[in-house]
Amino acid sequence: MSRPAGISAAIGQEHEGEPVRGLPGRLPEGEHILWQGEPDWRVLARTAMRAHWVATYFGILAVWNLVNGVMQGSGLASTLISVGLTLTVGAVAVGLLVGYAVLVARTTVYTMTNKRFVLRHGVALSKCFNIPYRTIGAAAVKVDAKGFGDIPLSLADGARIAYPHLWPHVRPFTILNPQPMMRALPEVASVAERLSLQLQLAANAADKPFVAEPVRAPARASRPAPSDGQPAAA
C-alpha cells in the first residue's frame, strides 16, 4: 500500500483510546470538525453484505426442495425436514451478515474537517486513514429513493490505499485503483454538498481542477443542486 500524496494511516488503534472520536489524535490548531457520520446498518447489510441476495437464494432453494420432494414422491416429513434445514441455514447466514453489518456500522466513523477526510473503521482490527482534500481528484454520489447513498472518492497524484484495508468502505470492483467510499449514509445529498465545497476550496488553494463525477442513481432520487456556483459532488 502506497500513500505518496500525504495519506497517513494508523492501524491497530483501539477505539476506546481515541482522544477525539473517530480521529487518530487531537486536531492541530486551525483545524476543526465540520461533520461526522456513520453508515446505517440496515442499508449496509443490503448494499455491502448483500444479505437480501443470500435470503433470496435460500428461499428459492427451499422452494426447490419442496417441489422436488413432491415430484419425487418423498414423504411429507422428509420433505419438510429438508425445507426446514435449508431455511435454518439461510437464516443463520443472513443473521451473520446482518450482525456483521451492525458491527461495521458501530465501529465506523466518517469525519470531515476543514483540512481532510478521515475514515476510521475496523471490527477486529481498527484502522484510521487520513485523506487530505488535496489528494482527492474526484468525488461522486449515488442516492437511492429514500435519501441514503454512497460517496466514492477518486484519489489523485498517485495516492493509493489497498482494497482489503478499505473494505467495505470502498467502491466495488475498483481493486486496481481502490476508491475509498462513505457507504449507506442517511441524507447523503447534504453530506455530498459539504464535501464538494471543501474539495473545491482545496482545489482552488492548490490551483488545480476538481471534478464532481456523477454516479448512476434511481430516477426518483433527488440530486443535490450546486449552490453559490460550487459544483455539487453529485
Q: Tell me what the mean pLDDT of segment 13-29 comes to.
A: 79
Helices (H), the chain: 41-47, 51-72, 76-106, 163-166, 188-206
Band of the pLDDT at 75, cuts 50, 70, 90?
confident
Using pLDDT thresholds of 50, 70 and 90, give the confidence band for residue 19: confident
Least confident interval from 2-6, 132-136, 148-152, 162-166: 2-6
DSSP H or E stretch at residue 143? strand 142-143
Which whole-number Å values give the CA distances from 218 to 46, 48, 148, in the listed order?
Answer: 16, 18, 11
Amino acid identity for residue 91 in this structure: A
> pLDDT for 190-209, tens place per residue?
999 999 999 999 888 866 65
pLDDT score, position 1: 45
Identify the pLDDT of residue 218.
52
Answer yes or no: is pLDDT of 13 > 60: no
149-155 and 136-139 beta bridge pairing: antiparallel
- Greater confidence (57 vs 78) lies with 57
* 59 pLDDT higher than 60: yes
- Residue 131 in grid coordinates: 485523506
Mean pLDDT, rounded, for 77-93 = 94
**pLDDT top residue among 19 and 32:** 32
